[in-house]
Structure 1
């Protein structure tokens, strides 16, 4: 039995099936599967729509304030450092690319994803501790007036929190994206600008976080263009 057939045996003929009966049963099973997939897809789309609207309704002022702080930092020569783990590491690279890629004015903004340098990540993890992979990079390269942008679906990633703490000690603007209730990232004095996606689904959290950082990028660029 093939891998696909072992997952969906009801879509394939059984030894005792007559041609007509087997085909009818398989067609009915296929229709049920497709209906369930369609229903699940619609439910997920509705869920992320609700979450995005909730975030926009409840955090619009904070997003605008954060964009203003980032504009001031970039205008003064600041740079953006992004970081996260797992899927959030990919999102961190997307954030950096979003700000760094030239827009229609032909200018990009200085941004670096701390997850992009495998040599640094593995060296710090092997020689020191995985908990410091972002904090050590921030301490080495960050300066007052730069921006630290940390992503964590739980809000509790130790190395992300350590990176934000190192950034605050230096005098950087700190931005955090989290999910659920914000976790440890929501504790007072942890981050200057915090955006919490109130969901227990990692997928919905990451989808909503994508919207937040894209809106931030658009606000920052539009403000810099018009200033």
Structure 2
């Protein structure tokens, strides 16, 4: 029965700290304890496979490493979680050993000593391409986590079978897959949604700063533009409508427009200039210095949304990126970025409209006293 989960150590189970060898420095990653406890209740068992080249480099000893593992075991025990075994590769990358991930040597040793087969492996979880490739070598599904190096790996194109913010989110997705029936699926969606909402508190200051940018633009006579594709296009129209119509208060209309509404403009510009230009061209026609643009993309890499942000910069229009946790190229090019701490598209989109409503409420309250 597929109930074994192979875990990476640094950046996955515990926070990434270069060549960690002091047990007092060990910290569980966000959501690790909760996620593993959830999976443990579902009958999953855990084994850790970790590359520890610091031993081969002479930075620390195996005894020091084992002290770190003991400390992590103690922290997990407080959450009711047990790791069945710790297996490490002490070699440097140049040694050419058969145990350094993504080679399968550690996994083979773990199977031999703990009494399971490759067919029993449910998932391999980690934050690096080497973990994804290990899963491929074992014929198992992979979970790429955005903790540790995961976000940068995802940004350069690495993909797991599942791509999740942390172990807690991965556990929610796995739990959902185990449940049958529409009612259970709905309840699982609610659990994932609640977990995503709980993580949103980290964005409070960024949302306040983004709202201030929109307030400043509208108060100065500028316009508020919103753009996005697919579900994000619907969100763009929704947010713009709340401001040009009303959100909660009876007031004068605010100058907000979605760039996804004019079918003639979209098809004409797409036909004549290419799909990447459908938002940028409209912004160049209607935008002026002092305006503000909210650019929505779950991946942060939608080419036409990126082009809109680049045109905004040339025009002196401030831009706010609304993305998933990775942020993509969009978060780097925009003046401000709101990154939902999730990589699960439905949860990101749900949080986007939550953020949209929050922005509308803050803007309306500030401008319509």
For the aligned pair, the TM-score class normalised by the smaller chain equals 0.7 to 0.9
Name the residue aligned to 2:240.
Answer: 96
Residue 192 in 1 paired to residue 322 in 2? no
Q: How far apart are the structure 1 equivalents of 2:227 and 2:298?
A: 12
Name the residue aligned to 2:319.
Answer: 174
What stretches of structure 1 move > 3 A for 4+ residues in a row? none
Name the residue aligned to 2:60.
Answer: none
Residue among 333, 346, 352 paired with 1:203: 346
TM-score, scaled to structure 2: 0.50
Rg comparison, structure with higher value = 2
Secondary structure of 2:337 counterpart: strand
Q: How far apart are the structure 1 equivalents of 2:359 and 2:326?
A: 21
Per-residue deviation, 1:217: 0.6
Secondary structure of 1:108 counterpart: coil
C-alpha distance after superposition, 1:177-215 (max 9, x if no partner): 11141111122xx11221111222211110000000110
- TM-align CA RMSD: 1.5
Between the two structures, name the one with larger relative contact order (CA 8 Å, sep ≥ 6): 1
Name the residue aligned to 2:205.
Answer: 61
Secondary structure of 2:321 counterpart: strand
C-alpha distance after superposition, 1:136-167 (max 9, x if no partner): 11111100111111111111000000001111
User: Which ranges of structure 2 fall in alignment gaps of 5 or more residues?
Assistant: 1-178
Aligned length: 190
Name the residue aligned to 1:40.
Answer: 185
Residue among 133, 142, 165 paired with 2:278: 133
Per-residue deviation, 1:35: 6.2
Per-residue deviation, 1:112: 1.1
C-alpha distance after superposition, 1:35-78 (max 9, x if no partner): 632221111111112112212x2110111111112111111111
Q: How far apart are the structure 1 equivalents of 2:265 and 2:288?
A: 19
Q: How far apart are the structure 2 equivalents of 1:67 and 1:221?
A: 10
Q: How far apart are the structure 2 equivalents of 1:93 and 1:63?
A: 19
TM-score, scaled to structure 1: 0.80
C-alpha distance after superposition, 1:103-156 (max 9, x if no partner): 533322111111100001000111111111111111111001111111111110
Name the residue aligned to 1:113.
Answer: 258
Name the residue aligned to 2:360.
Answer: 217
User: Which ranges of structure 1 fall in alignment gaps of 5 or more residues?
Assistant: 1-33
Q: How far apart are the structure 2 equivalents of 1:176 and 1:99?
A: 19
